[in-house]
Amino acid sequence: MFGAVGNAADLKGAKSAGWLGEQQDGYLGLVRDGAPADMKALRATVNKKRRARYADIAKRNGISIAKVATLTAKKAIKSARSGDYVKSASGQWVRTK
């Protein structure tokens, strides 16, 4: 559906299509049920890369991976493009305006 898994353009398209969104924990989530396999694969690939990056940052700064992920989530949610989905603190998917 979106070509090579892990490509930034693919992620942008997946978010625009409403398949993937930013969660409060710093990782991508599936916005809708019934996501195609390529969306699930894209989410898994991006989240794996994020976790590795968070681990590197956490190690260099002497903080937990969870703390890095949470701080990154706040930034990602704040900078989400109009029409993208983000998961609210209450666990609901919300489309940004």
Spans of all domains in the chain = 8-89
Within the chain, how many helices (H) and strands (E) appear? 3, 4
Is residue 4's pLDDT more than 50?
Answer: no
pLDDT per residue as tens digits for the range 62-92: 999 999 999 999 999 999 999 999 999 999 9
- For residue 7, what pLDDT is reported? 61
**Per-residue pLDDT tens over the stretch 42-70:** 999 999 999 999 999 999 999 999 999 99
Q: d(Cα 31, Cα 91) in Å, to the nearest integer? A: 11
Q: Nearest-CA neighbor of 13 among 36, 31, 39, 37?
A: 39
